[in-house]
Structure 1
Amino acid sequence: MKALNDSYDVVVVGAGPAGSMASYNASKNGAKTLLIEKSQEIGTPVRCAEAVPRLEDFGINPDPSFVKSYIRGGYLIAPNGKKIVVKGGKTDGYVVERKVFDKFLAIRSGQAGTQIAVKSRVTKIEKTDDGYNVFVNYLGDEYIVKSKIVIAADGVESNIAEYAGLKTKKNPKEICSCAEYEMTNVKLLNNEMMEFYFGDICPKGYIWLFPKGDTVNVGIGVIDSKKRAIDYLDEFLTHPLVEGRLDNAVPVEFKVGGDPVGGPIKKTVADNIMVVGDAAGHVSPLTGGGIGLSMDCGLMAGDVAAQSIRAENYSEEFLDLYEKKWKEKYYKLLMNDLKYKNILQKLSDDELNAIANSIPENLEEVDVGKLAIKIVAKAPSLLRHFKELL
């Protein structure tokens, strides 16, 4: 195995979609880049529902080696069973095999010139005059690697940016606890549609059924201390809302994880460092989805890192170009989703049913602001929840 070099232009910590996209763009644009991943196999363990947006928008061919299903839309299902159909827009995409997809992104980065160190852990980073010393345990050996720029893509439990003084620690009350079975023998409403269930069956969150080829991802995300996420999920498997469609379901894999739904961190850059992906809070507070957003922000971080290297300017002022880019594109969206999530978490089952009865059964897009007008017009008692949106 090739030993690590003494120095790199860019060191990316974490080989999830954000990290692999950042390292890919940095390498493609001429920066000498190292990508560090703590797991011995990139893509494991899987901790999400595996839905991604249209990969064509990233210049990626949706290869059947990792694409398991094409998704055309979804059903939003109220506690009383009423179904709202949403098609197109953000619901148009794929369900992938993350074990294969994440590795594909890392291979793509490696082909662009990135050196990749798996089963490696960054134990600390230490500021120098022109960058950072990155302390790495690589396959059992200790290295000190010099880097002009560090990109922290180390997930919800991020600590790399904390070493640099950036605040990435998440409020435990804003981390969604997730549990998921991958199951066979599930009867879906439609094999090209996702299903989302809301209400007391999944406090302050939702339950999902995502088609995945021969299997279905059946999962839950909750923010609740009364019971474990898996307890709520097990109860749902026999719930009347699924009408026995899971009676013969057989799990072939079980996944757990945490999803940061408290919105983006306040600051994602400092001298010689940038933060991206779950570590930066690049996750929709409303849906918990963040793969596409993290991939895009990763590309931005890699591009700015390469620009920084060419300009020989690694200051916060220069790297702030990255923060301006991602905020211009996503900050308002994330903050609106945070507002909508806070409203959703306050609604009772009766109020959720009233909302479902107040809006059309078929939607081309979910524009919460426009829907709020229709909801309040038909159910004025809900004004107290939606008045700030009107």
Structure 2
Amino acid sequence: MRELLDSEYDVIVIGAGPGGSMASYHSSINGAKTLLIDKSQEIGTPVRCAEAVPYLDEFGINPDPSFVRSKIDGGILVAPNGKKIIVKGGKTQGYVVERKIFDKHLAVRSANVGTKIAIKSRVVGLDYDGEKYTVIVNHLGQIYAIKAKIVIAADGVESSIAEMAGIKCKKKVTEICSCAEYEMTNVKLLDKNMMEFYFGDICPKGYVWIFPKGETANVGLGIIDSKKKAIDYLNEFLEHPLLEGRLDNATPIEFKCGGAPVGGPIEKTVADNFMVVGDAAGQISPISGGGIYLSLSCGSIAGKVAGEAIKSNNCSEDYLVEYENRWKEKYYKLLMDELKYKKVLQKFSEKELNALADAMDERLEEIDVAKIAFRAVKRAPSLLKYFKDII
């Protein structure tokens, strides 16, 4: 009987989300023999996010109608007192996609340039001999011991692969944002091309979102709170007075839940013959919980460096640290600034959130927390105690 998987690859990527598929794609086009492993029997499931993605041009991905459900022009921020602030342009533009199809599209794109894909494959062991890893995989009920010169862990917020390799990536409970979401029909949107965000006691230390998705909408929230479950807060929000009955006739057709690691990036993302990418690496916005853009970008960097390492016959940490240097140069300061801003904003009461909103213009071109803080303190000096370390 022909073996389904080879006994050795240059690169094994574990996790076929956006980060993993981008890593395997760039590893393959740079000449490395690459295997992409995913524990699910269908790539893209289960869906655990609100499905908003940025413009995809810089990644060479066409916004295919098969997965694009809505084009997004910006967002509407809604304070507890109901004041609406419109943000248009910049990072708020993009698409709401069908993640099941989008993730599969990225995996197919990777397979088309040579990546071998193994679905329903769970990594049950990881051994290192100083030169290569042996990845023990349960693939469709059969155990394989597969050697790899480089392993890339892209296995999400619950990552165990990096821990197996001796890299600390476990997240504290207080750093995990619990998310719950309904995809609903018959939602009356404020604007079919704008995302909606709600703040206050309805979602402690987080926010509620309503994202247009073609004929449906994603209605969900993320919280860091132990008093009630995320689903309980979400169900209460469906009847919130701020909605003015816009969800009265809405009906859920799908429920999604998950967690987002919003405590900032892990300290170390490389070791000899090993890299960590995406949610597993904490490459996700501490403020918004959005990680797809960062996963696409950092996955691309990891795949390119992996391909370069294989060509150079040097898979040491000293060589692979180029991945860490590149992604940190682009995003580390941004992520650490957002982490600082998040900790400030989480201290705000509803009254203070309203004061902040009242101090802001009703239209913004971008969300620049430092600029917003400066304007807010000028108009509401009582907010200085929160923003003194920002402005």
Q: Same fold (TM over 0.5)?
A: yes
The match for 2:66 is: 65
Q: Output the CA distance in 1 between the equivalents of 2:141 and 2:79.
A: 51
The match for 1:216 is: 217
- SS of the equivalent of 1:264 reads coil
The match for 1:146 is: 147
The letter for the 2-side match of 1:197 is Y
- SS of the equivalent of 2:389 reads helix
Report the TM-score when normalising by structure 2.
0.99
Q: Output the CA distance in 1 between the equivalents of 2:193 and 2:51.
A: 15
Q: Output the CA distance in 1 between the equivalents of 2:132 and 2:91.
A: 39
- SS of the equivalent of 1:100 reads helix
Q: Output the CA distance in 1 between the equivalents of 2:373 and 2:139.
A: 53
Q: Output the CA distance in 1 between the equivalents of 2:130 and 2:344.
A: 47
The letter for the 2-side match of 1:251 is P
- SS of the equivalent of 1:388 reads coil
The match for 2:158 is: 157
The match for 2:130 is: 129
Off by >3 Å, runs of 4+ in structure 1: none
1:129 Cα deviation from its structure 2 partner: 2.9
Q: Output the CA distance in 2 between the equivalents of 1:229 and 1:56.
A: 34
The letter for the 2-side match of 1:203 is P
The match for 1:314 is: 315
The match for 1:109 is: 110
RMSD: 0.7
Q: Output the CA distance in 1 between the equivalents of 2:7 and 2:179.
A: 40
Q: Does 1:264 align with 2:277?
A: no
1:361 Cα deviation from its structure 2 partner: 0.3
1:59 Cα deviation from its structure 2 partner: 1.2
- SS of the equivalent of 1:334 reads helix
Q: Does 1:375 align with 2:376?
A: yes
The letter for the 1-side match of 2:190 is L
Q: Output the CA distance in 1 between the equivalents of 2:153 and 2:205.
A: 29
- SS of the equivalent of 2:309 reads helix
Paired-residue identity, %: 68
The match for 2:13 is: 12
Structure 2: runs of 5+ lacking an equivalent? none
1:60 Cα deviation from its structure 2 partner: 1.0
1:131 Cα deviation from its structure 2 partner: 1.3
1:2 Cα deviation from its structure 2 partner: 5.8
The match for 1:195 is: 196
Q: How does 1:233-382 map to 2 (within 5 A)?
A: 233-382=234-383
Q: Output the CA distance in 1 between the equivalents of 2:142 and 2:269.
A: 30
1:57 Cα deviation from its structure 2 partner: 2.0
Q: Output the CA distance in 1 between the equivalents of 2:238 and 2:128.
A: 51
The letter for the 2-side match of 1:186 is V
The match for 1:230 is: 231
Q: Tell me the number of residue pairs that the alignment of Structure 1 and Structure 2 aligns.
A: 390
Q: Does 1:23 align with 2:35?
A: no
Q: Output the CA distance in 1 between the equivalents of 2:346 and 2:246.
A: 27
1:329 Cα deviation from its structure 2 partner: 0.2
Q: Output the CA distance in 2 between the equivalents of 1:131 and 1:242.
A: 56
Report the TM-score when normalising by structure 1.
0.99
Q: Output the CA distance in 2 between the equivalents of 1:307 and 1:134.
A: 22
Structure 1: runs of 5+ lacking an equivalent? none
